[in-house]
Amino acid sequence: MGEERRILLKEKVLDHGFVELIDVLGSDQDIVNAARTSYDKGTKKISSTKQLIRYLIRHKHSGPIEFGVLVFRIRCPIFVARQWFRHRMASYNEVSLRYSEVVEEFYVPRSEWITSQDRRNRQARTDHEIKNSKEICSKLKLQSENLLKEYHSYIEEGVAREIARINLPLSIYTSFVFKIDLRNLLNFLSLRTDPHAQFEIRQYANIMAKMSEKYFPIVIQAWRDYVKNSISFSASELTVLKNVFEEKFDILHFIEEYLEKNEKTIPLAKLESLELIDKLRKLMGFNTTLDYLGKEKK
């Protein structure tokens, strides 16, 4: 009798897919230990652990984050897997249809998920369901069923599996094991939970983020705060903002006063407030505090 598969967490995705978390190496504390190059457990308060991890994520010091590793077992449509495998900083092992026969499961989107092509984004679809979506849904299902029947007829005729499979649709489900360090997982999640990613792979990425948070809660929350839910500006956009700030110099004073007055209620640690002021001063062209004070006196 073989060993039972180890499953830490499991959640269903789409109609026949799933995400299984099957192994985890490390924790928030292990990442902190790596950052400090120390392995003395329990010598730091949890607040210090949290502050350090948030500092690492905020300033993109990502090396220690790689000390967390997660292993997932994924079942998804082939077209989702092909997008997934573009993330090369991971280890994969996928089921082979040369060695085994196809499992009779294929993806059929719900009718409300069958929407129109986005005219501005050529690789995306809109949120607007098309009028005959239910009819198309039925056609998609029928086409996949017919192709599966053809596949099995080839197998019965003695055709090799590696040939019988070649006309199978991208809607067929495949399975693979996916091992990745936490740093590269955060990059995967940043791209695949983004609204620009295809709807189907977003469902998997959102579940993986939720599962990862159970084992690395401080890291995932820091990622949400400093990466996923943050924005960045181009050099041209910063120039526009700089010009506005120079015309309205009192904006910076207002922000400084606001941060000081609401220090206990704003969602920023003291160091983060200081970093925000520093960013705004640099935006206005002040490389040092003395530069800023000199401008202020004038």
- Whether 136 is in a domain gets the answer yes
pLDDT tens string 196-253: 899 999 999 999 999 999 999 999 999 999 898 887 878 887 777 777 777 665 777 7
- Known binding residues for dUMP: 83-86, 94-98, 165, 192
Annotated catalytic residue, options 54, 73, 192, 281: 192
* Cβ atoms 178, 76 nearer than 8 A: no
pLDDT tens string 74-126: 999 999 999 999 888 889 888 887 777 777 888 888 888 887 777 776 666 77
* Cβ atoms 276, 268 nearer than 8 A: yes
Are 212 and 78 part of one and the same domain?
Answer: yes
Are 25 and 78 part of one and the same domain?
Answer: yes
Are 28 and 55 part of one and the same domain?
Answer: yes
pLDDT tens string 34-84: 888 754 555 555 558 888 998 899 888 889 999 999 999 999 999 999 999
- Whether 40 is in a domain gets the answer yes
Q: Which structural domain, as residue segments, surrounds residue 149?
A: 111-164
- Whether 245 is in a domain gets the answer yes
**119 Cβ neighbours under 8 A, 6+ residues apart:** none
1-5, 78-82, 186-190, 247-251 — which is least confidently predicted? 1-5
Residue 192 among the catalytic residues: yes
Are 81 and 187 part of one and the same domain?
Answer: yes
- Known binding residues: 83-88, 94-98, 165, 181-183, 187, 192
Question: What are the CA-CA distances from residue 88 to residues 91, 189, 194, 212 (Å)?
Answer: 8, 14, 19, 20
- Known binding residues for FAD: 86-88, 94, 181-183, 187
* Cβ atoms 182, 65 nearer than 8 A: yes
Q: Characterize the bridge pairing of strands 173-181 and 9-13.
A: unpaired
Cα 67 from Cα 30, distance rounded (Å): 7
DSSP 264: T
* Of residues 112, 1, 15, 23, the one with CA closest to residue 70: 23
Identity at 133, one-letter amino acid code: S
Question: What are the CA-CA distances from residue 258 to residues 126, 247, 262, 268, 273 (Å)?
Answer: 40, 20, 6, 12, 10
117, 123, 125, 126 alpha-carbon torsion, rounded to 10°: -90
Ramachandran area for residue 266 (φ above 0: left; ψ -120 to 50: alpha; else beta):
beta
Determine the 3-state secondary structure of 167 from DSSP.
coil
User: Domain with 202 in it: what CATH number?
Assistant: 3.30.1360.170
- Whether 2 is in a domain gets the answer no
Are 91 and 178 part of one and the same domain?
Answer: yes
Are 80 and 122 part of one and the same domain?
Answer: no
- Whether 105 is in a domain gets the answer no
Give this prediction's pTM: 0.81
Domain count, the chain: 3
Are 69 and 176 part of one and the same domain?
Answer: yes
